[in-house]
């Protein structure tokens, strides 16, 4: 095999390795994005959960105020 042919083959292998690396990176990014969406949805559902018609934050404040008034 000539030197030029050998170098062309090396370049092709390098390009394939880069392409494979890009595919793996894209797959990882997609998994991260999916997990982020799951976490965002979980956080959103937790913040909108209601207790006696009030959000968790409002309920917590009301309960704290009630406890203070009782004491």
Render pLDDT for 2-52 as a digit per residue (tens, 0 to 9).
899 999 999 999 999 999 999 999 999 999 999 999 998 887 777 665 554
Count of domains observed in the chain = 1
How confident is the model at residue 71, as a pLDDT? 46
How confident is the model at residue 43, as a pLDDT? 77
How confident is the model at residue 5, as a pLDDT? 94
Give the integer Cα–Cα distance in Å for 4 and 25: 31
Q: Which domain holds residue 50?
A: 3-70
Give the integer Cα–Cα distance in Å for 46 and 24: 33
Taking residues 60-71, what's their average pLDDT? Answer: 53
Q: Hey, what are 14's tokens?
A: 């390098």
**pTM summary value:** 0.52
How confident is the model at residue 44, as a pLDDT? 74
């Amino acid at each position: 095999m000539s030197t030029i042919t050998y170098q062309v083959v090396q370049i092709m292998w390098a390009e394939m390795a880069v392409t494979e690396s890009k595919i793996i990176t894209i797959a990882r990014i997609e998994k991260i994005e999916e997990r982020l969406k799951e976490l965002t949805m979980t956080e959103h559902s937790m913040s909108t959960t209601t207790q006696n018609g009030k959000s968790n934050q409002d309920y917590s404040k009301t309960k704290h105020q009630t406890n203070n008034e009782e004491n």
